[in-house]
Chain A
């Protein structure tokens, strides 16, 4: 016995199913991207921390500037750590929690603050490149 699918009543549930699957697919990939981005951002902020110490050791700037830059890097590391923890705590198959969005915005603001303070420092190319990279990883660009 052959049933023909000619009824329009079937179309709406089918579209709903496709849309639901698309949302599920997006939810999964966004979570994966955020977690991967958090991992890369954490690695990069650690690199920035080391690079700044190395640059200061060359005598590129004095102790006062080092403390000023160090303060902003410290804020950035704390913000990225909060972001890493928020990404880690994001349950599977859930939409993005507000904590992730808030942590993301805070981290981008903290990285931008480091960028501004680094701009006038001699030999800052590596640091600026790493800061640019970290903003892209978090989603600030």
Chain B
């Protein structure tokens, strides 16, 4: 079994964590819907609901 020095291990750990956080932030930016998109959809749903309510009488 190979052993690491404390300094080597800490550098490796910090590098891994920084890389992971950067990757997660990138994924979140690419995958998630923005607040503005959800707000715009909410407005359209409100309009469609009002129209359907009027249609239902």
**Taking the complex as formed, is A43 at the interface, i.e. its CB lies under 8 A from any CB of chain B?**
yes
CB distance from B19 to the nearest CB of A (A): 11
* B-chain residues with CB within 8 Å of residue A31 when the two chains form the complex: 32
* B-chain residues with CB within 8 Å of residue A67 when the two chains form the complex: 56-57
Q: Evaluate contact between B53 and A74: CB separation under 8 angstroms.
A: yes
Q: Given A2-B5, A25-B24, does the pair A35, B32 have CB atoms closer than 8 Å?
A: yes
Chain B, interface size: which category?
20 to 34
CB distance from B40 to the nearest CB of A (A): 10
Q: Convert B22-36 into 0s and 1s, putting 1 for each residue whose CB lies closer than 8 angstroms to a CB of A.
A: 001001100111010
Q: State the majority secondary structure of interface residues on A.
A: helix
Q: Evaluate contact between A39 and B37: CB separation under 8 angstroms.
A: yes
> In the bound complex, what is the Cα–Cα distance between A35 and B33 (angstroms)?
5
Residues of B within 8 A of A (CB): 3-6, 9, 17, 20, 24, 27-28, 31-33, 35, 37-39, 41-42, 44-46, 48-49, 52-53, 55-57
